[in-house]
Amino acid sequence: MATNIEVPTLGESVTEATVGEWLKQPGDSVAVDEPIVSLETDKVAVEVPSPVAGVLGDHQVSVGDTVEVGSVIATVEEGSGGGAAKPKEAAKDAGGEPAEKSADLEKAAPEQAKQVSDSDNSQTLSPAVRRAVLEHGLDPSTIEGTGKDGRLTKEDVLRAAQAKKDDGGDEKAAPAPSAAPAGSGERKVERVKMTRMRQTIAKRLKGAQDNAALLTTFNDCDMSAVMEAREKYKDLFAKKHDIKLGFMGFFAKAACLALKDVPAANAYIEGDEIVYHDYVDISVAVSAPNGLVVPVIRDADQKGFARIEKDIADFGARAREGTLTMDDMKGGTFTISNGGVFGSLMSTPIINPPQSAVLGLHRIEDRPVVVNGEIVIRPMMYLALSYDHRLIDGREAVTALKIIKEAIEDPTRMLIDL
């Protein structure tokens, strides 16, 4: 008896998704709750599990197709399956070669390497592909994709891993793709369809610029006190809480102080009303392979450093694995974005609608500053607060950023609520 695999409920107000990656091919055995397909929504990738054990039937949709909630995308023939019933056909359906031909990949590697684009393919990787790339230690930009629009499939990664193994563990038998020889006249371009998530990011950020009156105020911050506190207590903190003491915990708590004193920075405009919050849910901008995601630390004002650091570490790990859920990113009253981890010195971050403010952190570097009339070297960081001037006045924005700066420079303020 065949059981239909339907697109599950994807979250509030989400009615459709894009097929990102088939994790199982027709004829493959599947277990109960084993993921068979990855769907991309506006915010996250969702893996759809099989409700029964059996053998996967034909795919009803292809990678790149848009599917609605409740629609049938595949079937599973119930019963015990003895592995992939049609390995050769399954491999060919995925756009690849039969498994027994993996040894030929080594010979084909030089030709394939020429066809690989220099661009970064990470934005199109599904969760299953990302996990396979990390597991085998491969560079996705050196693997030729056989999926729709040149996307990498899990089978592509596995074939590349096998070729690497057959080659004695070398990274690649072929050199990295290089520019076309001078005078050859060959100039290549590549067109890759934007993922649903990237399209949504683009629309939301452009919408923020179009609808909000954006302005950014800056300040600089002496990180000496926080760095000394981390160095002094990092071992005890890690031993007690089983998590490293990072900078984000300090900034999250400092932001909570500022938002308490400047409630407009923790509010947003809805129609002709201002919605204020008596709690602080901090969205933390995290860079994931498919794009920027902003999971939310709930009730950050009620949590201690250890809980905040654990939440951030968990979000970062799940963002890399592609396992964040819609609920993880729902809501949020204020955002912190740390461009410093990528080396940014200064930026003007864009607010995360409908929020009205975002704090931008940047890299720490030693700079000469004047302290008590003397020039000294201090580890300094530029802070940026972008805000919606329709709701937040300049005085309020500057005050909020000043409170954050003072709390970081004197962390005792966080303990005694100053």
- Helix 224-241 to helix 394-409 angle (10° resolution) is 70
Is residue 266 within 8 A of residue 282, CB to CB? The reply is no
**How do strand 334-338 and strand 357-361 relate by DSSP bridges?**
parallel
Q: Where are the alpha helices (DSSP H) in 94-223?
A: 105-115, 127-136, 154-166, 196-211
Q: Which of 120, 235, 393, 410 is catalytic?
A: 393
Residue 30 three-state SS: strand
389 is catalytic: yes
Phi and psi angles of residue 239, each rounded to the nearest 5 degrees, phi first: -65, -40
Is residue 217 within 8 A of residue 385, CB to CB? The reply is yes
Rounded CA separation 289/198 (Å): 11
Where does residue 52 rank: exposed (0-12), middle (13-18), buried (19+ CB within 10 A)? middle
Rounded CA separation 418/411 (Å): 10
170 is catalytic: no
Is residue 304 within 8 A of residue 271, CB to CB? The reply is no
Q: Which of 136, 241, 277, 389 is catalytic?
A: 389
Active-site positions?
389, 393
